[in-house]
A = this chain, B = another copy of it.
Amino acid sequence: MKQVPLKSILAEIYPLHRTLASDGTDEALEIIGGYMPDESGYTIETYTPGKPVWTWRVPERYVVHEAYLEIADGERVLDFSENSLHLVSYSLPIDSTLSWDELEPHLFFNEKRPEAIPWEFKYYERSWGFCLPKNTFDQLPRDQKYRAVIRSEFIADPKRGFRVGTGLIHPDDGPNPSVGEIIIASHICHPMQANDDAAGVVTAIGLAQRLIEEPLRKGSMNVRFLFCPETIGSIAYLAHHEDLIPHMKGGIFLEMTGNENTLVLQHSRQDTHLIDRVAGYVLGQRDERYREGEFAQVVANDERVINGPGVNVPCISLSRWPYDEYHTSDDNLSIISEEMLQDAAKIGEDIIRIFASNYIPKRNFRGPVFLSGHDLWVDWREDWDLNRAIEKIMMRFEGQQSIFDISEELGLDYWATYNYVEKFREKGLIERLPIPSESSAE
């Protein structure tokens, strides 16, 4: 585990030709492995192209040998080797001479950012195209012939299949299979783009490093990290590991965390699940403003899969959406701030520490506990809030509410409540019940 600024990791990943399955994506997965803590047991998995995964199929690998557009007289308009954004992702091969009218439907630009190359993709449309700045597009002669060359290949070789990277971090006392896990996801695709979502990837790496520096409390959930291409990546991963789903208690999707904007908490499909409320609590503890939005309504992504039909792991997302450079060549290192990346990692860390440590205390006792006899009295001079709340906490060990629920209902600090409840547990007065899973077991 190398430790460097998150932005410098991002600088390594950013320029690669990262699409669904491609050599650039492989490289990115390898780089991630270099920064993920050894303790996470980071591995890369490869899936066979064409294999059915739920209602989808694993995509083929996309290899581009060369791609360019020339005016018939020989002047080269654009070249994939200069910027992979020039090529519409998953374009079919072509080598044709076309009139302007034939060519134009295959050219893409961005009206609002005339100097930038937009990003376009045709993963499932079986077409081809080029992207270029609006300014360049405007200057192209309409009365000339063009030569469009794309030497691309779609490879179904299982050995060179579709890839994802994954790691697992345990709490201080090792795995506790009965308490389950939380999943942290970010997507590695989007060629030549920095904030979407190489930023989420390096934030997840930073978060993993923090959980090794200061391990999670004993008895906490495991934390699973998933780095994969958008949508089909998380589908392929979960379809290959359906047995994991029932153990997943919550998830955080991280993306677009590097630009200068406040954080936005996009709620889970459950909207008021523990993961939502813990995130709101962590964000609300700070002075910084933050925003909130409904599930899949801020910026839809892999949380649609993780929290989707038949999976249903409550999954929030954290991002700094919106930003003007989205899906263009302007989404580059110049808009990325180390401070923003670290801030998002810190928030993610705080959410995970609470969510993973939280459990449902169930009493073994009857009647109000003889507090002074069990050294459970809290002097009001030491902690006024806790002193006033002792009785109310003791009334809530019915196996219905988690520690977080109790602290939230009584307006107490989570960790003060957690530490006090733990004293009851150490004395055998309560036992811990795991947070129930809302995910689908089918």
Binding site for B on A (CB under 8 A): 54-57, 124-125, 231, 235, 238-239, 242, 269, 296, 300, 304-305, 308-311, 363, 365-370, 372-374, 391, 394-395, 397-398, 429, 440, 442
Q: A310-B363, A366-B239 are in contact. Are A55 and B395 (CB under 8 A)?
A: no
CA distance A395 to B294 in the complex (A): 14
CA distance A304 to B366 in the complex (A): 11
CA distance A369 to B55 in the complex (A): 6
Q: A309-B397, A391-B304 are in contact. Are A368 and B231 (CB under 8 A)?
A: yes
CB–CB B239/A367 < 8 A: yes
> How many copies of this chain are found per oligomer?
3
CB–CB B55/A365 < 8 A: yes
CB–CB B54/A309 < 8 A: no
Cβ–Cβ < 8 Å partners of A55 in chain B: 365-367, 369-370, 373-374, 429
CB–CB B304/A440 < 8 A: no
Given contacts A55-B366, A304-B391, A308-B395, 6 further A-B pairs with CB under 8 A are A57-B370, A124-B370, A296-B391, A308-B367, A309-B398, A311-B367
CB–CB A391/B300 < 8 A: yes
Cβ–Cβ < 8 Å partners of A304 in chain B: 368, 391
Q: Which of B238, B308, B373 contacts A56 (CB 8 A)?
A: B373
Q: Which of B300, B373, B394 contacts A309 (CB 8 A)?
A: B394
Kindly report which residue of chain B lies nearest to residue A307, judged by CB atoms.
Answer: B395
13 residue pairs A–B, Cβ–Cβ below 8 Å? A55-B367, A57-B370, A57-B373, A124-B372, A235-B367, A239-B367, A305-B368, A308-B395, A309-B368, A309-B398, A310-B365, A311-B366, A366-B442
CA distance A309 to B362 in the complex (A): 11
Q: How far is the CB of A409 from chain B (nearest CB, A)?
A: 13
CA distance A410 to B442 in the complex (A): 27
Cβ–Cβ < 8 Å partners of A231 in chain B: 368
Cβ–Cβ < 8 Å partners of A311 in chain B: 366-367
Kindly report which residue of chain B lies nearest to residue A377, judged by CB atoms.
Answer: B124
Cβ–Cβ < 8 Å partners of A57 in chain B: 370, 373
* 5 residue pairs, one from A and one from B, having the closest CB atoms: A310-B366, A56-B370, A54-B367, A55-B370, A55-B369
Cβ–Cβ < 8 Å partners of A395 in chain B: 269, 308-309
CB–CB A309/B366 < 8 A: yes
CA distance A242 to B367 in the complex (A): 11
Cβ–Cβ < 8 Å partners of A369 in chain B: 55
Q: How far is the CB of A389 from chain B (nearest CB, A)?
A: 12
CB–CB A124/B373 < 8 A: yes
Cβ–Cβ < 8 Å partners of A442 in chain B: 366
Q: How far is the CB of A54 from chain B (nearest CB, A)?
A: 4
* Interface-central residue, A238, A239, A310, by most chain B CB under 10 Å: A310
CA distance A94 to B305 in the complex (A): 74
CA distance A372 to B309 in the complex (A): 17
Cβ–Cβ < 8 Å partners of A296 in chain B: 391
CA distance A442 to B362 in the complex (A): 13
Kindly report which residue of chain B lies nearest to residue A309, judged by CB atoms.
Answer: B363
CA distance A304 to B390 in the complex (A): 12
* Interface-central residue, A55, A57, A373, by most chain B CB under 10 Å: A55
Cβ–Cβ < 8 Å partners of A269 in chain B: 395
